[in-house]
Chain A
Amino acid sequence: DAKTTQPPSMDCAEGRAANLPCNHSTISGNEYVYWYRQIHSQGPQYIIHGLKNNETNEMASLIITEDRKSSTLILPHATLRDTAVYYCIFYGGATNKLIFGTGTLLAIQP
């Protein structure tokens, strides 16, 4: 099944941009990169997804490398409420399953 690699934890100062990396070297051409986050023990929350082009919405930006083997989620002005576990996932192609990894625990420091 699809696998991604993320650092287990990261820190970021409040008000600064948080840049969360993800490696997905086995991604195939028709698979999308998704990002979700989980605050405390709530259900995961969708953030953004993309295929080839960079994407931006009201929550974040997603930068995908040209070879699509890695991506970066950018939270432009991190706040304390952005402290959460962030999951990078890829989905599509032949599989109907959305498989989560262990994610990155992002801690925003005041």
Chain B
Amino acid sequence: NAGVTQTPKFQVLKTGQSMTLQCAQDMNHEYMSWYRQDPGMGLRLIHYSVGAGITDQGEVPNGYNVSRSTTEDFPLRLLSAAPSQTSVYFCASRPGPGPYEQYFGPGTRLTVT
């Protein structure tokens, strides 16, 4: 299993540009989440999904969209990038609603100028 994969690893955007951060998992996990981590800070939940077709907001959802059309993929869209969205983005997955371990991807480092 590749686990949780994220692309790209690094990205530089100009203010106002849009882009999609990709996340995929090959473990057939129901639950997937997106977090952002600013320098020196903990992780903050952006959006999460409890299954294909079902998504919900986390702590900091503004400026981001998600969709979950398949179990494997959970892309995060930045609609109009702002410097405040400069961060490291982590995708995670876990099997379901029980007390399971959550698996994290390696992260995408995004800089918005």
A residues apposed to B, CB below 8 Å: 1, 32, 36, 41-46, 49, 51, 85, 87, 91-92, 96-103
Secondary structure of the A contact surface, majority rule: loop
Whether the Cβ atoms of A98 and B102 lie closer than 8 Å is yes
24 A-B interface contacts by CB (under 8 A): A1-B59, A32-B99, A36-B102, A41-B107, A42-B107, A43-B107, A44-B92, A44-B102, A46-B101, A46-B103, A85-B42, A91-B99, A96-B48, A96-B97, A97-B33, A97-B45, A97-B48, A97-B58, A98-B33, A99-B59, A100-B35, A100-B42, A100-B45, A102-B41
Which residues of A lie under 8 Å from residue B52 when comparing CB positions? Answer: none
Q: Mark B93-113, 1 if CB is under 8 A from A, else 0.
A: 010010101111111010000
**Does residue B90 face the partner (Cβ distance < 8 Å to A)?**
yes
Which residues of A lie under 8 Å from residue B99 when comparing CB positions? Answer: 32, 49, 51, 91-92
- Count B interface residues, CB 8 Å: 28
Which residues of B lie under 8 Å from residue A102 when comparing CB positions? Answer: 41-42
**Does residue B50 face the partner (Cβ distance < 8 Å to A)?**
yes
Cβ distance A11 to chain B, nearest Cβ, rounded Å: 18
Whether the Cβ atoms of A100 and B44 lie closer than 8 Å is yes
Q: Mark B74-102, 1 if CB is under 8 A from A, else 0.
A: 00000000000000101010100101011
Complex Cα distance A85/B40, Å? 10
Question: Of all chain A residues, which has the CB nearest B40?
Answer: A102
Which residues of A lie under 8 Å from residue B103 when comparing CB positions? Answer: 46
Which residues of A lie under 8 Å from residue B56 when comparing CB positions? Answer: 96
Complex Cα distance A45/B109, Å? 18
Q: Mark B41-57, 1 if CB is under 8 A from A, else 0.
A: 11111001010000010
Cβ distance A57 to chain B, nearest Cβ, rounded Å: 11
Which residues of A lie under 8 Å from residue B44 when comparing CB positions? Answer: 100
